[in-house]
Amino acid sequence: MQIRELKIPDSYEITPKQFGDDRGVFLEWYRFDKLAEVVGHPIDLRQANTSVSKRGVVRGIHFADVPLGQAKYVTATHGAVLDYVIDIRVGSPTYGQWDTVLLDDTDRRAIYIAEGLGHAFVALTDDATVSYLVTDTFNAEREHGIDPLDSEIGLVFPAEAGEPLLSPKDTEAPSLSQAASAGLLPTWDDMRAYYASLDGKTV
C-alpha cells in the first residue's frame, strides 16, 4: 500500500494494492505495521463503526476530547464519499484549514485522522457505506461538533452531492470561533505532546 501525508499534519491517505482476477478482487485495507511506520506508533483500535448514508448526507465535523480522543481509520466499502480532515488544533500552522480524500469502492482508499483533528464527509452516492476503525469507544460527554457549513472553515461540497443533508445535532453545532471561545478545541502544543507520548518520546 501507498501512504501519503495530507496537507493537514498527522493525517494520511492510504491507497491499497488490489489484486483482481476473474473471481473478483482482494486487498489489504488496513495494515497496522505499515501505518505505524509513518504515524510513529501502533494504533490501539477499540471500536469499529459503520454508517450508511444517502446522497448529500453530511456527517461531521466531529472530534473528541484528548486524552484519549479518537484517531480514525476510515474507508468506504460501498459507493463513494468525499472525506474531510479539518485542523481544529489552536496554534497549528494549518489551523482552520482542511484537506480531502475520495473514498469509494473503486480505488478503495482509506484516510487516517489523528486524535485532535476534525472529521467530516459528504456522501456522493446513495447507500454510501463507510467503515471506521477508532482508538476509543464512544463517549457522548466527550464528543463535540463544529458546524460543517461554517463559513470560516469553508468546506466545499461537490455539486454531485446535491443539497447537503445534516442532522439537527450537526446543524446546531457551534462555529469554529465559537468552539474556540468555549475552550472546546485542543491546542497544537498539547497535541504535539500527546502524539509524542504515544510515540514513546519526550518533548
The three-state (H, E, C) secondary structure of 107-126, written as one string: CCCEEEECCCCEEEEEECCC
Give the contacts of 32 (CB within 8 A, at least 6 positions apart): 42, 43
Q: Where does residue 141 rank: exposed (0-12), middle (13-18), buried (19+ CB within 10 A)?
A: exposed
- Please identify which of the residues 62, 73, 112, 195 carries the catalytic annotation: 62
62 in active site: yes
Going along the chain from its start, the domains and CATH numbers come out as 2-199 (2.60.120.10)
Work out the end-to-end distance of the chain between its first and last CA atoms, rounded to an integer number of angstroms. Answer: 31
Give me the tens of pLDDT residue by residue for the chain, a chain 203 residues long: 999 999 999 999 999 999 999 999 999 999 999 999 999 999 999 999 999 999 999 999 999 999 999 999 999 999 999 999 999 999 999 999 999 999 999 999 999 999 999 999 999 999 999 999 999 999 999 999 999 999 999 999 999 999 999 999 999 999 999 999 999 999 999 999 999 999 887 65
The CA distance from 45 to 57, in Å, is 26
> What are residue 60's DSSP bridge partners?
120
Backbone angles phi, psi at 145, to 5 degrees: -140, 160
- Please identify which of the residues 12, 84, 112, 132 carries the catalytic annotation: 132
With residue 39 as reference, give the H or E element that holds it.
Answer: helix 32-39
Tell me the DSSP string of 123-185: ESSTTEEEEEEESS---GGGEEE--TT-TTT-----GGG-S-B--HHHHTPPPHHHHHHTT-S
DSSP helix/strand/coil, 189:
helix
